[in-house]
Structure 1
Amino acid sequence: ALNGVIVITTKNGRRDTPLSVNYSTENTVRLKPRYADFDLLNSQETMSLYREMEDKGYFNAGSALYGRRGGVFHQYYKAANTYDPSTGTFGLENTDAARRDFLRRAEYANTDWFDLLFTLSPTTQHTLSLSGGGKNTATYASVGFLHDGGWTLPEKVDRLTANLKNTFFVSPRLTATLSAQGSLRSQSAPGTLPQRKNHTQGVFERDFDINPFSYALGTSRTLSPYDANGRLSFYRNNWAPFNILNEYANNTLDLEVIDFKLQGEATYQLREGLSLKALVAARRAHTSSTHKVTENSNLVQAFRANETPLVAKENVYLVHDKDHPDQQPQIGIPQGGLLDNNEASLSSWLARLAADYDFRRGEHDFKAFAFAELRTAHRTNTPFTGYGIQYDRG
Structure 2
Amino acid sequence: AVTEMIDRNTDWFDLLFRNAVTQNHTLSLSGGNESTTYYSSVGASISQGTAREEVSKRYTATLKVNSWISPKVYIGFQLNGSITDNQGYHSSFNPDSYARETARTIPAYNADGSLFFYRPYESFSTSNMANQTYAFNALHESQTTGNYADLASLTGLMNFVWKIYDGLRYEMTGSYVYNATKTTTWAQEDSYYVNQLRGYVFDELEFGSSFWNESVIPQGGVLSKSEATKTTLDIRNTLSYSKDFKGHLVSALATSEIRSVITDGFSGTHYGWMPERGQVISPSYTDAYIVDLKNGAFTPVITDNRANTVSWIFSGIYSYKDKYTLNANVRMDGSNQFGENPKYRFLPIWSVAGKYALTNEAFMKPYEDWLSYLALRLSYGIQGNVDKGTSPDLVMQIGSIDSNTGMATSTVAYWPNEDLRWEKTTQYNVGLDFSFLLDRITATVDFYKKVGTDMIVNKTISAVNGYTIRKINGGNVNNSGVELAVKFTPLQTKDMRLVIGFVHSYNKNELIKANDETNNTRENMLSGSALIEGEALGTIYSYPFAGLDHETGLPVFYDKKGNTSATWLSKTYKNYTLYEDEIELVKSGVVSPPHTGGINLEYRWKEWILRGSFTYSLGAVNRLPFIYGDYDSVFDPEKNVTREILNRWREPGDELHTNIPALYDDNTYTNLGIRPMRANVDHIYGTSMYDYSTARVCSTNNLRLRSLSLSYIFNKKVLKKMHLSNFQISAQANNLFIIADKRWHGFDPEQGSSANSSIPRTYSLSVTIGF
Which of structures 1 and 2 has the bigger CA Rg?
A: 2
Q: As a proportion of its length, which structure holds more helix?
A: 1
The answer to whether the aligner puts 1:390 opposite 2:274 as a matched pair is yes
Distance 1:356 1:221, change over 3 A: farther
The answer to whether the aligner puts 1:132 opposite 2:31 as a matched pair is yes
Residue in structure 2 matched with residue 147 of structure 1 by the alignment: 46
Distance 1:219 1:129, change over 3 A: same
The answer to whether the aligner puts 1:103 opposite 2:2 as a matched pair is yes
Q: Distance in 1 between matches of 2:15 and 2:102?
A: 13
Q: Distance in 2 between matches of 1:366 and 1:153?
A: 60
Q: Given residue 61 of structure 2, which amino acid in structure 1 is its aligned partner?
A: A
Question: What's the CA shift string for 1:102-136, capped at 9, x where partnerless?
Answer: 22222222222122211124101001111111243
Q: Distance in 1 between matches of 2:29 and 2:151?
A: 26
Q: Distance in 1 between matches of 2:149 and 2:69?
A: 43
Q: Distance in 1 between matches of 2:213 and 2:247?
A: 82
Residue in structure 1 matched with residue 149 of structure 2 by the alignment: 255
Question: What's the CA shift string for 1:35-64, capped at 9, x where partnerless?
Answer: xxxxxxxxxxxxxxxxxxxxxxxxxxxxxx
| Secondary structure, counterpart of 2:198 in structure 1 | coil
Once the two structures are TM-superposed, the CA of residue 357 in structure 1 deviates from its matched residue by: 3.5
Question: What's the CA shift string for 1:53-79, capped at 9, x where partnerless?
Answer: xxxxxxxxxxxxxxxxxxxxxxxxxxx
Question: What's the CA shift string for 1:293-341, capped at 9, x where partnerless?
Answer: 101111001122348xxxxxxxxxxxxxxxxxxx999211101000000
| Secondary structure, counterpart of 1:217 in structure 2 | helix
The answer to whether the aligner puts 1:241 opposite 2:135 as a matched pair is yes
Q: Distance in 2 between matches of 1:349 and 1:219?
A: 50
Q: Given residue 214 of structure 1, which amino acid in structure 2 is its aligned partner?
A: S
Q: Distance in 2 between matches of 1:178 and 1:255?
A: 30
Distance 1:253 1:367, change over 3 A: farther
| Secondary structure, counterpart of 1:165 in structure 2 | strand
User: Size of the alignment, in residue pairs?
Assistant: 258
The answer to whether the aligner puts 1:303 opposite 2:197 as a matched pair is yes
Q: For 1:198-213, list aligned pairs within 5 A.
A: 208=92, 210-213=93-96
Distance 1:136 1:248, change over 3 A: same
Once the two structures are TM-superposed, the CA of residue 242 in structure 1 deviates from its matched residue by: 1.0
Once the two structures are TM-superposed, the CA of residue 216 in structure 1 deviates from its matched residue by: 1.2
Residue in structure 2 matched with residue 87 of structure 1 by the alignment: none
Q: For 1:330-345, list aligned pairs within 5 A.
A: 330-345=214-229
The answer to whether the aligner puts 1:370 opposite 2:254 as a matched pair is yes
Once the two structures are TM-superposed, the CA of residue 276 in structure 1 deviates from its matched residue by: 1.3
Residue in structure 2 matched with residue 89 of structure 1 by the alignment: none
Q: Given residue 62 of structure 2, which amino acid in structure 1 is its aligned partner?
A: N
Which residues of structure 1 form unaligned runs of 5+?
1-101, 193-207, 308-326
Q: Distance in 2 between matches of 1:181 and 1:145?
A: 14
Distance 1:339 1:365, change over 3 A: farther
TM, length-normalised to structure 1: 0.62
The equivalent position to 2:55 in structure 1, one of 149, 152, 156, is: 156
Residue in structure 2 matched with residue 115 of structure 1 by the alignment: 14
Question: What's the CA shift string for 1:255-293, capped at 9, x where partnerless?
Answer: 111101112110112344432110111122110000111
Distance 1:266 1:233, change over 3 A: same
Once the two structures are TM-superposed, the CA of residue 180 in structure 1 deviates from its matched residue by: 0.5
The equivalent position to 2:183 in structure 1, one of 289, 293, 297, is: 289
Q: Distance in 1 between matches of 2:27 and 2:84?
A: 18
Q: Distance in 2 between matches of 1:262 and 1:362?
A: 42
Once the two structures are TM-superposed, the CA of residue 212 in structure 1 deviates from its matched residue by: 1.6
Q: Distance in 2 between matches of 1:388 and 1:188?
A: 23
User: Runs (4+) of structure 1 moved beyond 4 Å?
Assistant: 359-367
The equivalent position to 2:264 in structure 1, one of 371, 380, 388, is: 380
Once the two structures are TM-superposed, the CA of residue 254 in structure 1 deviates from its matched residue by: 0.4
Q: Distance in 1 between matches of 2:165 and 2:16?
A: 64
The equivalent position to 1:165 in structure 2, one of 60, 64, 72, is: 64
Once the two structures are TM-superposed, the CA of residue 227 in structure 1 deviates from its matched residue by: 1.4
Q: Given residue 264 of structure 1, which amino acid in structure 2 is its aligned partner?
A: M
| Secondary structure, counterpart of 2:135 in structure 1 | strand
Once the two structures are TM-superposed, the CA of residue 352 in structure 1 deviates from its matched residue by: 0.8
Aligned sequence identity (%): 31
Once the two structures are TM-superposed, the CA of residue 221 in structure 1 deviates from its matched residue by: 1.2
Q: As a proportion of its length, which structure holds more strand?
A: 2
Distance 1:122 1:367, change over 3 A: farther
Q: Which moved more, 1:176-185 or 1:107-116?
A: 107-116
Question: What's the CA shift string for 1:181-238, capped at 9, x where partnerless?
Answer: 000001100011xxxxxxxxxxxxxxx3x22211111111111211111111112234
Residue in structure 2 matched with residue 220 of structure 1 by the alignment: 103
Which residues of structure 2 form unaligned runs of 5+?
124-133, 202-210, 279-771
Q: Given residue 352 of structure 1, which amino acid in structure 2 is its aligned partner?
A: R
Distance 1:272 1:127, change over 3 A: farther
Q: Given residue 110 of structure 2, which amino acid in structure 1 is its aligned partner?
A: D
Q: Distance in 1 between matches of 2:163 and 2:94?
A: 55
Cα RMSD, aligned residues only? 2.2
Q: Distance in 2 between matches of 1:362 and 1:331?
A: 86
Distance 1:359 1:234, change over 3 A: farther
Distance 1:170 1:224, change over 3 A: same
TM, length-normalised to structure 2: 0.32
Q: Which moved more, 1:256-265 or 1:233-242?
A: 233-242
Q: Is the 8 A contact 2:212 2:218 kept in 1?
A: no
Distance 1:148 1:365, change over 3 A: farther
Once the two structures are TM-superposed, the CA of residue 164 in structure 1 deviates from its matched residue by: 0.2
Distance 1:298 1:173, change over 3 A: same
The higher relative CO (CA closer than 8 Å, separation ≥ 6) is in 1
Q: Distance in 2 between matches of 1:272 and 1:213?
A: 63
| Secondary structure, counterpart of 2:9 in structure 1 | coil
Q: Given residue 276 of structure 1, which amino acid in structure 2 is its aligned partner?
A: Y
The equivalent position to 2:89 in structure 1, one of 173, 190, 201, is: 190
Q: Distance in 1 between matches of 2:26 and 2:58?
A: 12
